[in-house]
Amino acid sequence: MNRCTAAVLFVASLTFFEVPALQAEPNALHHTGAAPAPSLSQNQPDRAASGAVDSAASESAVSQTEAEAEASHSAHGEDQGRIDAVHDVTDSRVLEIPWPNAHLMKQVHLPSLGTFTVAGIRIELAITKHVVFLWVAAVLVLVVAVAAAQRARRGGLPRGLHNGIEAVVVFMRDEVAVPSLGERYGRWLLPYLLSVFLFILTCNLLGLVPYASTATGNISVTAGLATLSFLLIQGVAIRDQGLRGWLTHLTGGVHWVLWPIMVPIEIIGLFTKPFALCIRLFANMTAGHIVALSVIGLIFIFHHVAIAGLAVPFNLFVCLLEILVAFIQAYIFTMLTAVFTGLGVHSDHPEGEEHERAESRHGRATAEPTG
């Protein structure tokens, strides 16, 4: 498209410069039978007038060109001083890294792995800055989890990193997984819930690091996490109730006359839960960065140092609030995933669940030392 546009502009420019040349030839009309050109003495006043007009036109064109250059320079300067809050929270193919130069950063252009078309839809496998920090978050979680597991195998009192990871594991098991899913499914799904919590938390906290980016501020990332939760919720429900019991659950337990109303409502309800997970995480992680950048932008809008005395402390408060929001959103996503999964597990087995809880309490009581 850019090549076609350049070709059209080039042809148009050639046509623009060819027209005066054709009109300036005195013998261009000889072959058409038109009247001969006037003599030299008759053309002298016309040439003088045309020369004056040409000089005035050239002076006007030069002044217009200078004015356009000044306007372009001033507009370019305004663009350099402008703060684009949306650019700093959206995805891009450019990665900014610290670099000892005038701007203290260097831009690295990320490559593309190829492009293919599926059903008329063009899909490009491009590495973006959100993809890079997804990989960084995954590597950090893997390294920390493996180091804590190896230290736990060696035994001894937990300390340092091992102590922190163990506290997270115990909290997720006793406060999220087992109360929502029961003893059986809670322990079975605990590794997945821990992975989701630590991964989302790491992505959220990376967005607060200079030169980094918040991968969970990309709706594609949150949609992928919500899709995994959707598959987990429905897969565990089908595994626990069977396909027939899962289909029966869509009727809502009402008379068959009301099935045309209840079945669409239940099907919509299946998708509203992961949709809420997706939008909640995306909106909360994006809003915090936009607020922080907007507050800093007030300094450049008002061009007064007194605004900095208000904007900087308030922005510090917003950054501290974002740390709290990073933990809260990771916890909410994990907790709601466990709750939604538990709804499908507990719907038809209250007696079995009470039996599992009784066995769990009995096992804990027997494990306690007697005095």
Which secondary structure element, helix H or strand E, spans residue 260, and what is its range?
helix 259-302
Residue range 289-300, pLDDT digits in tens: 888 888 888 888
Domain ranges across the chain: 129-345
| Contact (CB, 8 A) for 95 and 108 | yes
Question: For the residues of 336-354, what is the DSSP string, one character each?
Answer: HHHHHHHHHHHSS-HHHHH
- Span 232-239, average pLDDT: 93
Quickly count: other Cβ atoms within 10 Å of residue 333's Cβ. Answer: 24
Element of type H or E holding 124? strand 121-126
Instruction: Give 175's DSSP letter.
Output: I
In terms of C-beta density within 10 A (0-12 exposed, 13-18 middle, 19 or more buried), how is residue 51 classed? exposed
* Residue carrying the six token digits 């938390």: 201
| Banded pLDDT at 161 (limits 50, 70, 90) | confident
Residue 370 DSSP label: P
Q: What is the pTM of this model?
A: 0.70
Q: What is the pLDDT of residues 296-324, one digit of tens each?
A: 888 888 888 888 888 899 989 999 999 99
Q: How large is the average pLDDT for residues 18-43? A: 41
Q: How far apart are CA 367 and CA 341, in angstroms?
A: 29
Judge contact between 284 and 329, C-beta under 8 A: yes
Q: Is the pLDDT of residue 34 over 50?
A: no
Q: Is the pLDDT of residue 127 over 60?
A: yes
Kindly tell me if the per-residue pLDDT of 78 is higher than 80.
no
CA distance 76 to 71: 8
Residue 83 per-residue DSSP state:
-
Does 371 score more than 90 pLDDT?
A: no
pLDDT in tens, 310-366: 889 998 999 999 999 999 999 999 999 999 999 888 654 444 444 455 445 444 444
CA dist 191 and 195 (Å) reads: 6
